[in-house]
Amino acid sequence: MNLNKELIIVTRFNESLESLIMQFATMFPNSSLGKHLNVILALTSETKEVITDEDGSKLKARSGSVLIYQFINHVLEFKEKIDNSDESFFLKHDYDDKIKDLNINSDMNFIDEFKEVWTKLGSDDKETVFAFMQYLCELSLEYFQMKDN
């Protein structure tokens, strides 16, 4: 596996996830995402080195792969719903099994909280979330396929 390519994927994933989380934390500062923002961002921001992307641009490689692995294990199975912008992904699915697997305490249970947040978003914001989620799915799938080879 090309280590540089792996770092690029993880870096893009972490930067995109961080951007999405920051937007939510700004819009809903009293949510668990807002309250625990620093803890969550620490998982995305471990900087290792500066690398050159395929287009020649410089990236600060973020080698923290914890969240991309969690995404692969707990979200990627819903890729079809995400790709189809199916709101039932956020509203109707019972994520109790995922919450147990992740060992999330009730104070940081942003999964259930997100269902409420989703109903408060406008259509443009929902489209943006789906675009982020689709991109995160693409990156995590590419990462999984690289690791699987």
Query: Cα(142)–Cα(71) distance, rounded to whole angstroms?
Result: 12
Considering the entire predicted model, what is its pTM? 0.78
CA-atom Rg of the chain in angstroms: 16
pLDDT of residue 149: 72
Out of 15-19, 78-82, 145-149, least confident range:
145-149
Confidence class for position 108, pLDDT limits 50, 70, 90: very low
CB 9 within 8 A of CB 18: no
pLDDT tens digits, residue range 37-51? 887 777 766 655 555
Out of 22-36, 71-85, 93-107, 110-124, which region has the weakest mean confidence (pLDDT)?
A: 93-107
Determine the residue type at 131: A
**Residues 109, 81 contacting (CB under 8 angstroms):** no
Query: Is 117 in contact with 24 (CB distance < 8 Å)?
Result: yes
Q: Each residue of 123-138: pLDDT tens digit?
A: 999 999 999 999 999 9
Asked if pLDDT for residue 143 goes beyond 90, the answer is yes
What average pLDDT score do residues 89-116 get?
63
The burial class, CB within 10 Å (0-12 / 13-18 / 19+), for 55 is exposed
pLDDT of amino acid 95: 57
- Residues 80, 117: Cα–Cα separation, whole Å: 22
Q: Using one digit for the tens of pLDDT, what is the confidence trace for 51-85? A: 555 666 655 545 577 788 888 988 899 999 999 99
CA distances from 70 to 11, 51, 59, 86, 99 (A): 15, 24, 23, 21, 12
- Report how far residue 62's alpha carbon sits from residue 12's, in angstroms, rounded to the nearest whole number: 8
